[in-house]
Amino acid sequence: MTAVAPTPALASSRSGRRAASGATMLAAGEPVAWLMAAGLGLALVMISGLLALVLWNGGTTFWPGPIVELRTLDGATLLGEEFRRERYRPDETLLADQSAAVRTAAAQALSGDGWTSRSLLRTANFDVTGTHFTWISDYEIVPDSVGRPEWAIGIERLEFGRFFGFPLRGEEDRRVVAEGEAATWAWFEAHHREVRRLWEERRDLETHEVGGVNRALESERLRLRGIELREGIPAEWVVAWSDLLRTRRGGSAEEIESARTRLAEIEAAGFVPTDRFRAAAAEFEAEEATLNDRFVELTGEIARLDAAMDRFVMVLRTVDGVEKSIPLAEIVRAIPQNQLGVGGRLLVFLDRWREFLLDGPREANSEGGVFPAIFGTVAMTLIMTLAVVPFGVLAALYLREYAKGGAVISAVRIAVNNLAGVPSIVFGVFGLGFFCYVVGASIDQLLFEAKLPNPTFGKGGLLWSSLTLALLTLPVVIVATEEALAAVPRSMREGSYACGASKWQTIRRIVLPRALPGIMTGAILAMARGAGEVAPLMLVGAVKLAPELPIDGVAPFVHPERSFMHLGFHIYDLGFQSQNSEAAKPMVFTTTLLLIVLIALLNLIAIWLRSRLRRRFAGSQF
C-alpha cells in the first residue's frame, strides 16, 4: 500500500493543535525567557530598594530637625530632637515599672489593638545627664505639652557630643557682658568666628610647627643612632651619655656631676668614642638645644592662644534648670533650629556635608568628617589596581598565548578559579604573615635598623594592604583578560603573521589593543571588589584613627608604610565598636552612601576609558 502524504490543510491543522497545546511555545523557550525576565526584575527591585534605603537614611542625616520640648506624666521635662519614630506593643513588665498615672494612660491608649507609637528623642547633654537618647511613648506625654521653644539652641562640640539648651549669658574674662537669650545669641555670633580662627591657628601650630620640631628631633636622633650602630658604640656608653644630656637640660649641679662621672668611668674602662662620633654627638646636642628652644617658643605661643580663647564662655541653661558653661573654642556649630526656615536648614545641611567630606573625625568617629578615610580608600584602590592589572595581564597572556595545553596548565587554571573563592580573611592572614612579618621585617633590618625595635615596614600599612588586595583580586583580572584575549579573532593574528610580524609584535600591536576593553572590564571588577573589602584590611593596615595621611607635604611626601583609614573599616567601627550605637546609626548609612558613590565614580572613570578604547577598536567587543 502506498502511503499518502497529508494534505497542506491537514498539516496546518496539526500545527495549530501543537501550538494550542503549548508545545511550540515551550520549544521556542518563551516560559524560560519570562522566568529570566522575572529574575532580572526581582534583582533590580532588590538593588533599587537597597540603594533607596541607603540614600534616604544617609542623605538626610545632616538635615537639622526641630527641637521639641515636652512634659511627661511623671513630671519630667525633656528637650531634644526627634531621632526616630516607631510603632510597638508595650511589654507588661515595662508597664509594671511605670507610675500609676502612666499605667492608667497606657491602659487607655492600648485598649484597642494593643499597639502604640514611641519616639527616640536625642536629648544630648551627655556630660550633664549621662545619656544621649531617651525613648518616650505617646501615652507618657502630657496632652498639649509638646512645643518648639524659639530659643532652643543645638550645639555641636568638640567633645561630649551635642548639647541642647537655652542661651543664658555671655562671659569675657569671667565677667558677664551679655545676658538674656537674644543678647547672648548676638554676642555669640559676634565672637565665635574669631575664636574659631584662633582655634584653627592653634591647631596648625600644634600639627605643623610642633610636629615639624618633633620630626626634626627624631631625624637627628636616628642619624646619630645609625652612626652608633656603624661605629659599634656600647649601649652602656650611650645610656650614660643620654643621661648627661638630660641632666644638663634641667638637672641640678650634683646630678650633672654624677652623670659626667659615670660617663668618665665607662670611658676609663677602655672605650673611647671615635672622633667622628664625638663630632656627630656634639652636632646632635647643638641641634637638640636649638629645637628645644623652638619647642618652648611654640609652647608659649600655644599657651597665648589658649588664654585668648578661654576668655570667651557662653553659659546655657538646660531644660532642667542646670547651668552649663561652654567655651566658644569648643563649639563647632551652634544652631537655633526652631528659628530656621528651609533656606537656613539647607545652609546647615550643606555645611555639615562640607565638614563630613573635608574634615577629620571626632567624638570616636561618630562626629566630624571622614576625609582621611576617603583619602585612604582612594589611595589603596589605585595602588591595588596598579599592582594587580599588570601582573594579571602578564599571567593571562602567558596562559592564553604562550603556554601549551596540558595537565599543568589545567591545574593552574583550576587553582586560579579556586583562588577566587578563598575567604578574604585568609588573604589578610597571608598578608600579615608574608608582607609584614617576612618582607617588611627584612626591609627594616636592611634599611631602617636605627628605628628598631619600632617597626617601619614590619607592620600593617598602605602598601601591604594594597598588595594583599591585589592578590585577592588577581583571579578576577586573569579570567577577564583571558576571555578578552580569546575574543580577538584568530584571523587578525594570522594576518599579522602573514605580514611577517613576530609573535610578540602581533600580541603588542594586534591582540592587546583589541583586548583592552575586556582588560578594563577586569580592572573595573577588581576595583569594585577591592575597594569594598574590610576583613583583610583589619589585619594589614586599616585602623580606627590615623591622624597622619600616607601622602603629605613632608619629605619624602609618600609614606606607604603608614597605617590608614578606610571607609569600609570606618563603617564597621561605627556600627559595632562605637560607644553610642544609636548616635552612630545615621553616620553608618551616610558613610555607606559615600563608599557606594566613591566606588561608582572610580568605576565610571574606568568605564569611560573602556568606552574610548572600544570606539577606537570597534572590531573587538567584549
| Spacing of C-alpha 599 from chain mean position | 13
Residues 6+ apart with CB under 8 A from 391: 470, 474, 477
Strand partners, 312: 172
Closest to 50 measured CA to CA, from 593, 611, 607: 593
Once rounded to an integer, what is the mean pLDDT over residues 252-268? 77
Does 613 or 590 have the greater pLDDT score? 590
- pLDDT one-digit tens code per residue, 101-126: 888 888 888 877 788 889 989 988 88
Q: What is the dihedral of CA 437, 440, 441, 445, to 10 degrees?
A: 170
Q: Rounded CA gap, 94 and 297, in Å?
A: 61
- Contact by Cβ (8 Å): 373, 565: yes
Q: Rounded CA gap, 54 and 13, in Å?
A: 58
Closest to 135 measured CA to CA, from 151, 145, 121, 117: 121
Residue 132 in this model has a pLDDT that exceeds 90:
no
Which domains does the chain possess? 57-152+336-358 (2.30.30), 367-546+557-616 (1.10.3720.10)
Q: Rounded CA gap, 488 and 510, in Å?
A: 9
- pLDDT one-digit tens code per residue, 436-490: 999 999 999 998 888 888 898 999 999 999 999 999 999 999 999 998 898 888 8
* DSSP for 350-368, written as a single string: HHHHHHHHHS-EETTTTEE
- Contact by Cβ (8 Å): 58, 571: no
Residues 6+ apart with CB under 8 A from 11: none
Residue 169 pLDDT level (bands cut at 50, 70, 90): very high
Q: Rounded CA gap, 489 and 399, in Å?
A: 17
* DSSP for 451-478, written as a single string: GTTS-SSSS--HHHHHHHHHHHHHHHHH
Once rounded to an integer, what is the mean pLDDT over residues 54-83? 89
Residue 194 in this model has a pLDDT that exceeds 70:
yes
Side-chain half-sphere CA neighbours of 561 within 13 A: 14
Q: Rounded CA gap, 342 and 346, in Å?
A: 6
Residue 155 pLDDT level (bands cut at 50, 70, 90): very high
Closest to 516 measured CA to CA, from 488, 475, 476: 488
242 three-state secondary structure = helix
- Contact by Cβ (8 Å): 67, 81: yes
Residue 25 in this model has a pLDDT that exceeds 60:
no
- Contact by Cβ (8 Å): 401, 490: no
Residues 6+ apart with CB under 8 A from 126: 132, 160, 161
Lowest mean pLDDT among 320-324, 364-368, 593-597: 364-368
In the chain, the amino acid numbered 37 is A
Report, in this order, helix, strand and coil percent for the chain, each rounded to 5: 65, 10, 25
Strand partners, 156: 162, 333
Single pTM value for the model: 0.84
Once rounded to an integer, what is the mean pLDDT over residues 374-378? 91
What percent of the chain stands above pLDDT 90? 35
The residue behind cell 631602617 is 448
Return mean pLDDT, the chain: 85
534 three-state secondary structure = coil
pLDDT score recorded for residue 70: 92
* DSSP for 479-496, written as a single string: HHHHHHHHHS-HHHHHHH
Residue 618 in this model has a pLDDT that exceeds 60:
no
pLDDT score recorded for residue 621: 42
List phi, psi (to 5°) of 25.
Answer: -65, -40
- Contact by Cβ (8 Å): 61, 586: yes
Q: What are the cell numbers at 261?
A: 662621672
133, 374, 586 from 60: Cα distances, Å: 19, 20, 8
Residue 622 pLDDT level (bands cut at 50, 70, 90): very low
